[in-house]
Amino acid sequence: MRNRAGIETQERILAATKRLLAERGLDGVTIKGICDAAEVHAGSFYNLFESKEQVVLTAVREAIKAVDPDPAGTGNDHLTDLVDAYIRFVMGDQNLARVYLMVAVSGGLTDPAIRARVLGHHEDRHARFVAALHRERPGIGDDQAAELIDALLAALNGYAFQWLLDPSFDFENHARRLLTYA
Amino acid sequence: MRNRAGIETQERILAATKRLLAERGLDGVTIKGICDAAEVHAGSFYNLFESKEQVVLTAVREAIKAVDPDPAGTGNDHLTDLVDAYIRFVMGDQNLARVYLMVAVSGGLTDPAIRARVLGHHEDRHARFVAALHRERPGIGDDQAAELIDALLAALNGYAFQWLLDPSFDFENHARRLLTYA
DNA sequence: TCAGAACTAGAGTGAAAACTAAAGAAAAGT
DNA sequence: ACTTTTCTTTAGTTTTCACTCTAGTTCTGA
pLDDT of residue B47: 93
Count Cα neighbours of B169 within 13 Å in the Cβ-side half-sphere. 23
Give the burial string for A116-129 (b: 16+ CB within 10 Å, else e): ebbbebbeebeebb
Report which listed range, A21-25, A47-51, B21-25, B93-97, is most confident: A47-51
- Classify residue A106 by its DSSP letter: I
B176 vs B55: CA distance, rounded Å: 35
**pLDDT interval class at A135 (50, 70, 90):** very high
pLDDT at res. B1: 59
What does the pLDDT look like over B134-173, one tens digit per residue? 999 999 999 999 988 988 998 898 888 888 888 888 999 9
SS3 B73: coil
Q: For B91-109, what is the mean pLDDT?
A: 77
Q: Phi first, then psi: what are they for B67, rounded to 5°?
A: -60, -35
Would you call B41 exposed, middle or buried from its count of C-beta atoms within 10 A (0-12, 13-18, 19+)? exposed
B144: closest CA among B158, B154, B134?
B134
Averaged pLDDT, A6-34: 91
Per-position b or e across B21-33, b if 16+ CB within 10 A of its CB: bbebbbeebeeeb
- Report the alpha-carbon distance of residue B152 to residue B148 in Å, rounded: 6
Q: Which residue has the higher pLDDT, A29 or A65?
A: A29
Q: How far apart are CA A174 and CA A159, in angstroms?
A: 8
In this predicted structure, the answer to whether residue A133 has a pLDDT above a threshold of 90 is yes
pTM, two decimal places: 0.80
CA of B87 to C1' of C29 (A): 66
pLDDT band at B83 (very low <50, low <70, confident <90, very high): very high
Region A48-58: mean pLDDT is: 91
Residues of B within 8 A of A115 (CB-CB) are 165
Name the least confident of A28-32, A93-97, B72-76, B170-174: B72-76
Say how far apart CA B25 and CA A92 lie, in whole Å: 28
Q: Is B123 on the interface with A (CB under 8 A)?
A: no
- Cα torsion for B142, A163, B88, B100, to the nearest 10°? 140
Question: How distant, in Å, are the alpha carbons of A104, A178, B34 from that of A149?
Answer: 19, 11, 40
N residues, chain B: 182
Q: What is the pLDDT of residue B4?
A: 78
* Residue A116 in contact with partner chain B when CB distance is under 8 A: no
Mean pLDDT over B62-72 rounds to 73
Say how far apart CA A25 and CA B105 lie, in whole Å.
10
Q: How far is A146 from chain B (nearest CA, A)?
A: 11
List the one residue out of B19, B18, B20 whose CA is nearest residue B30: B20
Per residue in A107-131, pLDDT (tens digit) is: 777 777 778 888 888 888 899 999 9
Q: How many CB atoms lie within 10 A of CB A2?
A: 8
Q: Report in angstroms the alpha-carbon separations of A156 from A160, B17, B91, B108.
A: 6, 31, 22, 18
Structural domains of chain B, ranges and CATH numbers in brackets: 1-49 (1.10.10.60), 51-180 (1.10.357.10)
* Residue B113 beta carbon within 7 A of nucleic strand C: no
Decide which of B41 and B107 is more confident.
Answer: B41
% residues pLDDT > 70 (chain A):
95
Between positions 16 and 75 of B, the ones with CB within 8 A of A are: 22-28
Give every CB contact of residue A126 below 8 A, 6+ residues apart in sequence: A146, A149, A150, A153
Answer yes or no: is pLDDT of A18 > 60: yes
Query: Could you tell me if A162 and B121 are in contact, meaning their C-beta atoms sit under 8 angstroms apart?
Result: no
Check CB contact under 8 Å for A158 and B162: no
Q: Is the pLDDT of residue A174 over 80?
A: yes
d(Cα B133, Cα B147) in Å, to the nearest integer?
Answer: 11
Closest Cα partner for A29 from A70, A8, A58?
Answer: A58
- A106 alpha carbon, distance to own chain's centre: 13
Residue B45 confidence (pLDDT): 95
pLDDT tens per residue, range B45-58 = 999 999 998 999 89
